[in-house]
Amino acid sequence: MSSGYFKIAGGTVYDPIHGVDGEVRDIWIRDGQIVEKPSDSNIRPDKTLDASGLVVMPGGVDMHCHIAGPKVNTARKMRPEQKRKAEKVVRTSNTRSGTMGSVPSTFATGYKYAGLGYTTAFDAAIPPLAARHVHEEFEDTPCLDKGFFVLMGNNHFVMESIHRKEPEKLRSFIAWLLGAAKGFTPKVVNPGGVEIWKQLPSGNVHGLDENVAHFDVTPRQIIEQIARAVDALKLPHSVHLHANNLGMPGNWITTLETMKTFGDSRGHLAHIQFHSYGGGEGDENTFNSKVVELVEYVNAHHNLTVDVGQVLFGETTTMTADGPLGYYLSNAFKSKWFSSDTEMESGCGIAPIEYRNTSLVHSLQWAIGLEWYLLAKDPWRVVMSTDHPNGGSFLAYPQIIQLLMDRTYRQDMLKQVHPAVLERSTLADLTREYSLYEICIITRSGPAKILGLTRKGHLGPGADADITIYTPNDDKTKMFELPRAVIKSGVVIVEHGEVREPLTGKLLYVAPEYDTSIESDIAEWFEKYYSIRFRNYPVPLDYLHDREEVACARL
Amino acid sequence: MATPPITKPIESPATVITDATCTFCGCVCDDIDITVKDNHITDAKRACVLGKSWFYGHAADDRPDCLIEGQPASVAEGVERAARILTEARYPIVYGLSDTTSEAQRVAVAIGDAIAGTVDTTTSVCHGPSGMAFQGVGEVTCTLGEVANRGDLIIFWGGNPAESHPRHFSKYSLMPKGMFVPNGRKDRTAVGVDVRKTKTAKAMDLFFQIKPRSDFEALWTLRALAKSVEVDPEQVKRDTGIELSRWQDLMDRMKAAKFGVILFGMGLTMTRGKHLNSEALLSLARDMNAFTRFVVKPMRGHGNVTGADNVVTWQTGYPFGVNMSRGYPRFNPGEYTTSDTLARGEADAALLVACDPMANFSQPARERLQSIPYIALDPKETPTTRSAAVAFTTATYGINTPGTVYRMDDVPIYLRPALSSTHPTDLEVLSAIHRRVTELKK
């Protein structure tokens, strides 16, 4: 008789949320979730996966990547030259064909993430006007549970509410907008700067206290007020911030000020690597690392979390809601350039680039990312990311793990980059090596906790049965790039690198409560300025494929 | 209690569907109020002349759901025959897709993948060259609400929106009172560039009637003037038919504008130079951003051609002209685009969704199509459905069926159907074919 149980037997388990550091244990699964071992010892599992000698971890959680929506899809369209030379994703009897390069097609994205043992991913920057597009692409991106952050840092209603000093209205609007898009948390990208980009040639803001013309607010006010509203709404994740002055020499001062701006509010600083630069404005020759100064502040302030945005050498495609940044990069790299401004909400810039280890700037970017991992005291608050594909592809995660776990490998790599890195960063002096336990934290348990996903990132009863099983290997790249098996919702989706059952995965979204009387105000503003009708804007629940509402009111 | 006998039929009350979406052209106006009475559309408030004809002309056709070789058949029989044709072919193609929902487009591409076929859309015969130009240099663009709220210099190049996109002026590009252009039309300068004085020209403040086939030269002149490169006035006049001083005046206005917009049509993309013309225009818009904000936007024709570009791209990585015969997608316009695979006699079966190549393709392409078995899905009888091995009469998207369409600026809009239909939807028919094709391929 079928018991409905699936047992992963005898694996060496890493489950940092429960303090389990490499202990041999069995894991019992039923109905897609991890459960207690049945008390009746007569119960036999329907299926057992012998994991003895293997490493068992929760499925990976990528909390900051770009995998769906208008910007990603435009980048796909824009780079046929890269795909032609890239690995081919061939159709099989149970999988779709696709293309790779720095911006893989949807099905390929799902298969490749799962192939690395990742089972959850969040797209970091979606204009809510394009939410339906994202939901459609997500349904075609298998093997992953997915969610997205909703761009708000240059939203006109947000800026007007802040200008009028109406925090309740701001809070209600944020809740309404998240609900309308079926998103996860507010994303703030270059607050105020994108609006100025729309108003002026090469327009941008350069500091937290510059005035945003027409709206009469400052970047600092935008960050502060949205962060407070997010906390007041008790959203599972904090505000997710792409700070001002990304990529600019000397930007660390803005970054430190930004950290202080959060006060007691929770705040997540995305791709912090790109915001940790010393040096004179516009002067590449003085470019240097300021991780030591910034990490000290993060170490001491438990309300702050970061993901790294590691740079890897090679070709990639940058894509950002930071319109002026896209223009800057396309000019710096003399590359083709896509830019699209979304009415009332956001911007978008895309430019192909190549990170070279012969370049001082790129070598330093590479080193600065590694410094962040190695200098951060609390692995629960620093998350592995490449800001895929901005710093490099998510496919580089195994290589980053090796850089963190293997000091000798790291020192060898350091010899291959621009020599000035030795003087301008502390990387050469860092001897720390990550343990498997710490890797487990920065790739799954930590991001799950930061996102407020109580059923992800751990292997305790009640968790989604998203599990990755690796074959131990001293070569950590090899170990992490080819898991022995990947289990999603209790189903083996990948075995030995081959996709077995490409489940669709579900959408993770929030539905915070708000004062609905605000809707008439929003409608009036909306009909005046938007080019679609208010009633056609919100995405109703029945539009979504498999879904799960993630509860607010986290303590 | 006895009820009195009914002496006359009860008139059903009219219902009004507000904020319905018109899918006739790439404007995808979503503010139409449709009045329905006795399962007929009696009014389409705010729709333009094209939109009204779209709504009024789409009472469901009294035709069988399926015809095999011209004879009525069940949908199930049609699906079986279609799946056989597609799986037995050596070079099957999937084409059209621009007038159906993205939900249906997704399944059509899945079929193309399953049968190792070639997927192409009507983009290859309209703005395909713009797509190729975009791959070359990129594009600086925006959503239409940005044009409405900020645009103060609007240039229409090689298009006639007054007749092809009648509400574009009033809803997006010329008349709206926007956030930074509070006086609407008074705050904007409208410029037309075209080879003939169309109805659009009459709505312009300035009109440049350039020599036919001189778009590239005209654009290159403007690019030179933008960067203050000296050009020969006589050559400019000779090549473009316009005095250099007028081009200089236009460039001065372009630089003085706060938010310039160029909207271009097939007069640019489908004349001599093709993608090089588009590339010149996209490059000009990019160049202008060194001086002010400037954007550019192709005026897409079909209601969901933009959705087709998006769907084909997210599933395969390429926007149109995608061949999957080797088991993975390859892209090569000219090689895998439908007019070419047909005219060269390569395609040996076709799945045609919401398109009418028998009416508008070249003679060699039509002759080839006539000679191969193909499946056509269309709400109406067309020259294409008439010669189809299997013709499905499907419900009309937006009028009978819900779903998603992408406006010309990539904004996704949901449909609010007004009428029920007895015919199956494209999505239903394609899903059934997909299921059967997958079974046969196993």
The span from the CA of A368 to the CA of A286, in Å, is 15
Type of residue at B128: G
pLDDT of B1: 43
In A, minimum Cα distance to B296 occurs at: A340
pLDDT tens readout for residues B351-395: 999 999 999 999 999 999 999 999 999 999 999 999 999 999 999
Which of B324, B336, B380, B352 is closest to B53 using CA atoms?
B380
**Residue A168 corresponds to which tokens in the numbers above?**
């309740």
Q: What is the CA radius of gyration of chain B?
A: 24
pLDDT tens readout for residues A452-463: 999 999 999 999
Residue A113 has pLDDT above 60, yes or no: yes
pLDDT tens readout for residues B406-441: 999 999 999 999 998 999 999 999 999 999 999 999
In this complex, do B143 and A70 lie within 8 Å of one another by their Cβ atoms?
no
The span from the CA of A109 to the CA of A116, in Å, is 11
- The helices-and-strands tally (H runs, E runs) of chain A is 19, 26
Measured between beta carbons, which residues in chain B are less than 8 angstroms from residue A137? 314
pLDDT of B8: 54
pLDDT of A511: 97
User: Is CATH 3.50.50.60 the classification given to domain B60-126+303-441?
Assistant: no
User: With a CB-CB cutoff of 8 Å, which residues 283-312 of chain B face chain A?
Assistant: 286, 289-293, 295, 309-311
Residue A504 to residues A488, A489, B195: CA-CA distances in angstroms?
A: 10, 11, 51
In this complex, do A107 and B317 lie within 8 Å of one another by their Cβ atoms?
no
Residue A73 has pLDDT above 60, yes or no: yes
**Residue B421 corresponds to which tokens in the numbers above?**
């239909």
The span from the CA of B276 to the CA of B10, in Å, is 63
Measured between beta carbons, which residues in chain B are less than 8 angstroms from residue A536? 19, 21, 30, 413-414, 416
Q: In degrees to the nearest 10, what's the CA dihedral of A426, A431, A436, A437?
A: -80
Tell me how close the Cα of B431 comes to any Cα of chain A, in angstroms. 15
pLDDT of B2: 47
Per mean pLDDT, which range of A142-146, A158-162, A193-197, B299-303 is the poorest?
A: B299-303
Mean pLDDT of B165-174: 96
Residue B11 has pLDDT above 80, yes or no: no
pLDDT tens readout for residues A394-427: 999 999 999 999 999 999 999 999 999 999 999 9
Residue A496 to residues A144, A210, A420, B384: CA-CA distances in angstroms?
A: 18, 54, 41, 48
Residue B12 has pLDDT above 80, yes or no: no
Q: Do domains B60-126+303-441 and B128-298 have the same CATH topology?
A: no
In B, minimum Cα distance to A535 occurs at: B19
Nearest to B329 among A99, A132, A198 (CB): A99
Give the pLDDT band (50/70/90) at residue A337. very high
- Stated as kind and residue range, the H or E segment containing B263 is strand B259-264
The CB-side HSE value for B310 (13 A sphere, CA atoms) comes to 29
The span from the CA of B120 to the CA of B111, in Å, is 12
Give the pLDDT band (50/70/90) at residue B53. very high
CATH architecture of B128-298: 3-Layer(aba) Sandwich (3.40)
The span from the CA of A6 to the CA of A491, in Å, is 9
pLDDT of B347: 98
The span from the CA of B419 to the CA of B398, in Å, is 9
| Count of beta carbons in the 10 Å neighbourhood of residue B99 | 27
Give the pLDDT band (50/70/90) at residue B38. confident
Give the pLDDT band (50/70/90) at residue B127. confident
Residue B10 has pLDDT above 60, yes or no: no
Mean pLDDT of A262-271: 98
pLDDT of A281: 67
Q: Where are the domains of chain B?
A: 15-55, 60-126+303-441, 128-298
**Model pTM score:** 0.97
Which of B158, B164, B155, B196 is closest to B51 using CA atoms?
B164
Residue B142 to residues A319, B222, B258: CA-CA distances in angstroms?
A: 16, 22, 15
Residues in chain A: 555
Mean pLDDT of B268-283: 94
